[in-house]
Amino acid sequence: MVSSLTLFIGPMASGKSLLVIREIDMRRRAGIPVTVLKPKVDTRDARAIASRLGPRVEAHDFDEHVPRFRHLVRDARCIAIDEAQFVSPKLLPLFDEILAEGIELIISGLDLDFRGEPFGLMPEFAKRATKIEALTTYCAVCKQRNATRTQRLIGKDKRPAPYDSPLIQIGGSESYEARCETHHDVPGKP
Ligand SMILES: [Zn+2]
Protein backbone atom coordinates (compact mmCIF):
# COMPACT_ATOMS: atom_id res chain seq x y z
CA MET A 1 0.00 0.00 0.00
CA VAL A 2 1.18 3.50 -0.80
CA SER A 3 1.18 5.64 2.29
CA SER A 4 0.19 9.28 2.15
CA LEU A 5 0.73 11.90 4.83
CA THR A 6 -0.03 15.52 4.02
CA LEU A 7 1.31 17.89 6.66
CA PHE A 8 0.34 21.54 7.18
CA ILE A 9 2.75 23.40 9.46
CA GLY A 10 3.19 27.02 10.45
CA PRO A 11 2.69 29.54 13.25
CA MET A 12 -0.62 30.42 14.85
CA ALA A 13 -3.24 32.00 12.59
CA SER A 14 -1.52 30.96 9.37
CA GLY A 15 -4.62 29.17 8.07
CA LYS A 16 -3.75 25.58 8.96
CA SER A 17 -7.19 24.61 10.27
CA LEU A 18 -8.91 26.17 7.27
CA LEU A 19 -6.79 24.10 4.89
CA VAL A 20 -7.55 20.89 6.80
CA ILE A 21 -11.28 21.70 6.71
CA ARG A 22 -10.98 22.25 2.94
CA GLU A 23 -9.30 18.85 2.48
CA ILE A 24 -12.04 17.18 4.56
CA ASP A 25 -14.82 18.97 2.64
CA MET A 26 -13.44 18.02 -0.78
CA ARG A 27 -13.28 14.35 0.16
CA ARG A 28 -16.71 14.24 1.79
CA ARG A 29 -18.29 15.87 -1.28
CA ALA A 30 -16.85 12.99 -3.29
CA GLY A 31 -18.27 10.46 -0.82
CA ILE A 32 -14.91 9.61 0.72
CA PRO A 33 -15.30 9.14 4.49
CA VAL A 34 -12.90 11.11 6.68
CA THR A 35 -12.32 10.38 10.36
CA VAL A 36 -11.73 13.74 12.05
CA LEU A 37 -9.74 13.81 15.28
CA LYS A 38 -8.33 16.39 17.66
CA PRO A 39 -6.13 15.89 20.72
CA LYS A 40 -7.63 16.94 24.03
CA VAL A 41 -5.59 19.49 25.98
CA ASP A 42 -6.83 20.90 29.29
CA THR A 43 -10.21 22.57 28.79
CA ARG A 44 -9.96 23.55 25.13
CA ASP A 45 -12.76 22.31 22.88
CA ALA A 46 -11.42 19.24 21.08
CA ARG A 47 -14.74 18.22 19.53
CA ALA A 48 -14.36 20.35 16.43
CA ILE A 49 -11.74 21.60 14.04
CA ALA A 50 -12.54 25.28 13.84
CA SER A 51 -11.11 28.06 11.72
CA ARG A 52 -11.20 31.58 13.13
CA LEU A 53 -12.76 32.52 9.77
CA GLY A 54 -15.90 30.56 10.59
CA PRO A 55 -16.01 27.03 9.20
CA ARG A 56 -15.88 24.16 11.66
CA VAL A 57 -16.03 20.37 11.37
CA GLU A 58 -17.05 18.00 14.16
CA ALA A 59 -14.17 15.96 15.58
CA HIS A 60 -13.61 13.13 18.03
CA ASP A 61 -11.30 13.99 20.89
CA PHE A 62 -8.52 11.72 22.04
CA ASP A 63 -5.69 11.68 24.56
CA GLU A 64 -2.81 9.27 25.15
CA HIS A 65 -5.17 6.32 25.72
CA VAL A 66 -4.07 3.78 23.07
CA PRO A 67 -7.25 1.62 23.01
CA ARG A 68 -9.49 4.68 22.46
CA PHE A 69 -7.32 5.91 19.60
CA ARG A 70 -7.33 2.43 18.05
CA HIS A 71 -11.12 2.36 18.32
CA LEU A 72 -11.48 5.79 16.70
CA VAL A 73 -9.32 4.94 13.67
CA ARG A 74 -10.74 1.45 13.13
CA ASP A 75 -12.00 1.07 9.54
CA ALA A 76 -10.86 4.61 8.67
CA ARG A 77 -9.93 5.36 5.06
CA CYS A 78 -8.67 8.85 5.67
CA ILE A 79 -7.81 10.47 9.00
CA ALA A 80 -7.54 14.22 9.59
CA ILE A 81 -5.96 15.61 12.77
CA ASP A 82 -5.65 19.27 13.76
CA GLU A 83 -3.47 20.69 16.59
CA ALA A 84 -1.26 17.63 16.16
CA GLN A 85 1.54 19.18 18.22
CA PHE A 86 -0.43 17.92 21.23
CA VAL A 87 -0.53 14.25 20.11
CA SER A 88 1.04 12.04 22.77
CA PRO A 89 4.35 10.37 21.79
CA LYS A 90 2.78 7.14 23.09
CA LEU A 91 0.68 7.05 19.92
CA LEU A 92 3.55 7.25 17.44
CA PRO A 93 3.69 3.47 16.79
CA LEU A 94 0.00 3.59 15.86
CA PHE A 95 0.71 6.21 13.22
CA ASP A 96 3.29 3.90 11.68
CA GLU A 97 0.67 1.14 11.60
CA ILE A 98 -1.82 3.50 9.97
CA LEU A 99 0.68 4.48 7.28
CA ALA A 100 1.70 0.86 6.73
CA GLU A 101 -1.94 0.02 6.05
CA GLY A 102 -2.09 2.69 3.34
CA ILE A 103 -4.61 4.85 5.21
CA GLU A 104 -4.37 8.49 4.20
CA LEU A 105 -3.35 11.00 6.87
CA ILE A 106 -3.91 14.75 6.84
CA ILE A 107 -2.18 16.40 9.78
CA SER A 108 -1.76 20.01 10.83
CA GLY A 109 -0.19 21.77 13.77
CA LEU A 110 2.41 24.14 15.12
CA ASP A 111 5.83 22.86 14.08
CA LEU A 112 7.52 25.15 16.65
CA ASP A 113 6.51 25.90 20.24
CA PHE A 114 6.58 29.38 21.82
CA ARG A 115 10.32 28.88 22.43
CA GLY A 116 10.91 28.30 18.72
CA GLU A 117 11.75 24.64 19.33
CA PRO A 118 10.25 21.54 17.66
CA PHE A 119 6.80 20.88 19.12
CA GLY A 120 5.83 17.35 20.23
CA LEU A 121 5.61 14.75 17.49
CA MET A 122 5.67 17.29 14.66
CA PRO A 123 9.27 16.42 13.62
CA GLU A 124 8.25 12.74 13.50
CA PHE A 125 5.26 13.57 11.30
CA ALA A 126 7.54 15.66 9.07
CA LYS A 127 9.91 12.70 8.63
CA ARG A 128 6.99 10.55 7.46
CA ALA A 129 5.22 13.20 5.36
CA THR A 130 4.78 12.68 1.62
CA LYS A 131 3.83 16.34 1.24
CA ILE A 132 4.56 19.30 3.54
CA GLU A 133 2.96 22.70 3.19
CA ALA A 134 4.79 25.23 5.37
CA LEU A 135 2.51 28.23 5.92
CA THR A 136 3.50 31.73 6.93
CA THR A 137 1.57 34.83 7.89
CA TYR A 138 2.32 38.47 8.68
CA CYS A 139 4.65 39.32 11.57
CA ALA A 140 2.79 41.34 14.23
CA VAL A 141 5.87 43.57 14.65
CA CYS A 142 7.38 44.27 11.19
CA LYS A 143 4.21 43.52 9.18
CA GLN A 144 6.18 41.45 6.67
CA ARG A 145 4.82 38.16 5.30
CA ASN A 146 7.56 36.18 7.01
CA ALA A 147 6.12 34.99 10.33
CA THR A 148 7.08 31.39 11.06
CA ARG A 149 7.06 31.65 14.86
CA THR A 150 4.45 31.86 17.59
CA GLN A 151 5.17 34.49 20.24
CA ARG A 152 3.77 33.97 23.74
CA LEU A 153 2.98 37.16 25.66
CA ILE A 154 2.16 37.28 29.36
CA GLY A 155 0.70 39.77 31.81
CA LYS A 156 -1.31 42.93 31.25
CA ASP A 157 1.72 44.61 29.68
CA LYS A 158 2.03 41.68 27.20
CA ARG A 159 5.70 41.01 27.77
CA PRO A 160 7.49 38.06 26.08
CA ALA A 161 7.19 34.82 28.07
CA PRO A 162 10.51 33.54 29.42
CA TYR A 163 12.09 30.37 28.08
CA ASP A 164 11.50 28.45 31.32
CA SER A 165 7.71 29.01 31.42
CA PRO A 166 5.68 25.81 30.93
CA LEU A 167 5.23 24.47 27.39
CA ILE A 168 1.48 24.27 27.79
CA GLN A 169 0.13 27.15 29.85
CA ILE A 170 -3.17 26.28 31.48
CA GLY A 171 -5.78 28.95 32.13
CA GLY A 172 -3.24 31.77 32.22
CA SER A 173 -3.59 35.34 31.03
CA GLU A 174 -1.23 34.72 28.14
CA SER A 175 -1.83 35.61 24.52
CA TYR A 176 -0.12 34.66 21.30
CA GLU A 177 0.77 36.33 18.03
CA ALA A 178 2.63 35.34 14.89
CA ARG A 179 6.12 36.79 14.46
CA CYS A 180 9.13 36.45 12.19
CA GLU A 181 12.38 34.92 13.43
CA THR A 182 13.94 38.36 14.02
CA HIS A 183 11.09 39.58 16.22
CA HIS A 184 10.50 36.31 18.06
CA ASP A 185 11.55 37.12 21.64
CA VAL A 186 12.23 34.41 24.24
CA PRO A 187 14.06 35.88 27.26
CA GLY A 188 16.47 33.40 28.79
CA LYS A 189 16.69 31.20 25.67
CA PRO A 190 20.10 29.47 25.69
ZN1 LIG B 1 9.05 40.70 12.13
Q: What is the CATH number of the domain that holds 112?
A: 3.40.50.300
19 Cβ contact partners less than 8 Å away, ≥ 6 residues apart: 8, 108, 133, 135
* Cα 164 to ligand 1 centroid, rounded to whole Å: 23
CA 45 from chain centre, in angstroms, equals 14
For ligand 1, a single-atom ion, the residues with CB < 5 A are 139, 141-142, 180, 183
**What average pLDDT does this structure show over 48-68?**
94
Instruction: Please give the residue that has the higher pLDDT: either 3 or 112.
Output: 112
Give the tens place of pLDDT for each residue, 67-97: 999 999 999 999 999 999 999 999 999 999 9
Q: CA 77, 31, 38, 184: dihedral to nearest 10 degrees?
A: 100
* Cα 62 to ligand 1 centroid, rounded to whole Å: 35
- H runs (alpha helix) in the chain: 16-29, 66-73, 92-100, 122-128
In a domain, 119, yes or no: yes
Residue 46 scores a pLDDT above 90: no
What domain range is 82 assigned to?
Answer: 4-134
In a domain, 142, yes or no: no
* Cα 103 to ligand 1 centroid, rounded to whole Å: 39
Give the tens place of pLDDT for each residue, 95-129: 999 999 999 999 999 999 999 999 999 999 999 99
Question: What pLDDT does 185 receive?
Answer: 98
In a domain, 146, yes or no: no
How many domains are contained in the chain?
1
* Cα 138 to ligand 1 centroid, rounded to whole Å: 8
CA neighbor of 107 nearest in space, from 45, 181, 34:
34
**What average pLDDT does this structure show over 163-188?**
89
